[in-house]
């Protein structure tokens, strides 16, 4: 089943407790029309709309607490939603706008780096803006904390830590390298894993908030991660997008590629050792792990902003490390949510260039296995 849903849909979360599907629906033309949508999981009908004051992006669900957290990726804040009342509880600002030229001077960037960055920002007509972009979120309910990587715009990334009892910013942790994006928790061992775009996974103790290690891995661009606690394995998608110019500028050296990309990497969570590599279709982005059935679901965008795309979802056996099936889902399948009890997969499908120009809505898809 495929249902046109909004002008844009990004991430989604399934709530067994509420028997509902929550989807972030930013409006790129008029952010005042951005919403969080509550969908009926069987019909995908819209049951409720939560207005947002900024474009929503990543979501993380704390079902036991009836809360959904949502990054306002370009607005320097995280919103907290009551999933029973379908309303915003609080908007948590985590940063202020800065002047980028002043920021780069304060960080003592070299003149070469500053010249490159400021020239790029001029192309986007950006002088003053938020210094970090927010994408993904991870909850550690035992520690009453929410973690959100902040992707630094020309500066090293950080990790924002939110106290989920007070709903206040607790701390900003530095030291996460170039473009920290992926994050996943290991509540049993009190670990947080954060991946960046320079081939690293950084491990954090969720109790002390101390960085305990940095794993150099064979994947260059682990955009998103999932963790299997039973086997202590990390699964991550290595995108394969050309980021050389920006990355080399950030590192002030030529980055040596470790992978051709367009892969799923399976890693030992302690050592970072590669256990398996599984090829994907072009530009994998989202992944979801079904530990009950030993299945991994991966969305493949099918290109980087092409006019016409033929994206897909690939299903892997996580014991044999083999693809089982690839489902065409054009144009751009993006994010995933799983109803494990019902064996149902939900996918957001974004527009390619032609669909966007035609003003078509983006879709949510329900796949019953």
Give the domain CATH number at 12.
2.40.10.480
Closest C-alpha among 79, 72, 62 to residue 18 = 62
Q: How many independent structural domains does the chain possess? A: 1
CA distance 225 to 235: 6
Q: What is the pLDDT of residue 321?
A: 97
Strands 158-163 and 145-152 come out as antiparallel
Both tokens of residue 57? 């992006």
Q: Is residue 191 part of a domain?
A: no
Structure-block tokens of residue 332: 């751009």
Answer yes or no: is 44 within a domain.
yes
Collapsed DSSP state (helix, strand, coil) of residue 210: coil
**Distance (Å, whole) CA 14 – CA 347:** 11
DSSP-derived 3-state class of residue 61:
strand
Burial class (CB in 10 A: 0-12, 13-18, 19+), 179: buried
Q: Which residues contact 322 (CB under 8 A, 6 or more apart)?
A: 278, 316
Q: Using an 8 Å Cβ cutoff, are 307 and 356 in contact?
A: no
pTM metric for this prediction? 0.96
Q: Is residue 228 part of a domain?
A: no
Is 22 within a domain?
A: yes
The three-class DSSP label of residue 247 is: helix
**Residue-level pLDDT at 53:** 87
Stretches in the chain below the pLDDT threshold 50: none
How many whole angstroms separate alpha carbon 301 and alpha carbon 109?
Answer: 34
What is the spatial distance between Cα 219 and Cα 207, in angstroms, rounded to a whole number? 28
In a domain, 32, yes or no: yes
CB distance 100 to 153 below 8 Å: yes
User: Which residues, in sequence order, are CB contacts of 77 under 8 Å at separation 6+?
Assistant: 54, 91, 92, 93, 94
- Residue 150 placed within a domain: no
Q: What domain range is 38 assigned to?
A: 1-93
Tell me, yes or no, whether 273 lies in a domain. no
Tokens in use for 102? 């002043």
Left if phi > 0, otherwise alpha if psi is -120 to 50, otherwise beta: which for 245?
Answer: alpha
Does residue 111 lie in a domain region? no
């Amino acid at each position: 089943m495929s249902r046109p849903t909004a002008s844009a849909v990004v991430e989604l979360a399934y709530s067994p407790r509420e028997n509902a599907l929550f989807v972030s629906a930013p409006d790129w033309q008029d952010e005042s029309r951005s919403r969080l949508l509550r969908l009926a999981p069987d019909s995908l009908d819209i049951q409720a709309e939560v207005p947002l004051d900024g474009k929503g992006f990543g979501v993380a669900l704390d079902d036991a607490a009836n809360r959904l957290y949502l990054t306002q990726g370009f607005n320097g804040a995280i919103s907290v939603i009551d999933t029973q009342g379908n309303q915003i509880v609080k908007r948590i600002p985590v940063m202020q706008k800065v002047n980028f030229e002043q920021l780069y001077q304060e960080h003592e960037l070299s003149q070469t780096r500053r010249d490159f960055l400021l020239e790029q920002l001029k192309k986007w007509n950006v002088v003053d803006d938020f210094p970090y972009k927010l994408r993904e979120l991870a909850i550690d309910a035992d520690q009453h904390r929410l973690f959100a990587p902040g992707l630094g715009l020309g500066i090293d990334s950080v990790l924002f830590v939110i106290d989920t009892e007070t709903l206040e910013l607790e701390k900003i942790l530095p030291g996460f390298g170039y473009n920290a994006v992926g994050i996943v928790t290991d509540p049993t061992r009190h670990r947080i894993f954060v991946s960046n775009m320079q081939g690293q996974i950084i491990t954090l103790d969720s109790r002390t908030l101390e960085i305990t290690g940095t794993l150099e891995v064979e994947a260059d661009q682990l955009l998103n991660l999932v963790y299997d606690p039973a086997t202590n394995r990390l699964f991550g998608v290595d995108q394969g997008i050309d980021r050389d110019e920006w990355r080399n500028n950030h590192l002030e050296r030529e980055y040596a590629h470790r992978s051709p990309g367009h892969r799923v990497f399976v890693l030992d969570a302690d050592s970072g050792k590669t256990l398996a590599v599984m090829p994907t279709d072009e530009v994998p982005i989202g992944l979801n792990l079904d530990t009950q059935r030993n299945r991994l679901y991966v969305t493949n965008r099918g290109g980087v902003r092409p006019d016409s795309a033929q994206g897909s979802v690939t299903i892997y056996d996580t014991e044999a490390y083999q693809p089982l099936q690839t489902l065409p889902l054009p144009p751009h399948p993006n994010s995933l949510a799983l109803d494990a009890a019902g064996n149902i997969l939900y996918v957001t499908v974004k527009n390619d260039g032609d669909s966007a120009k035609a003003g078509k809505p983006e879709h949510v898809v329900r796949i019953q296995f």
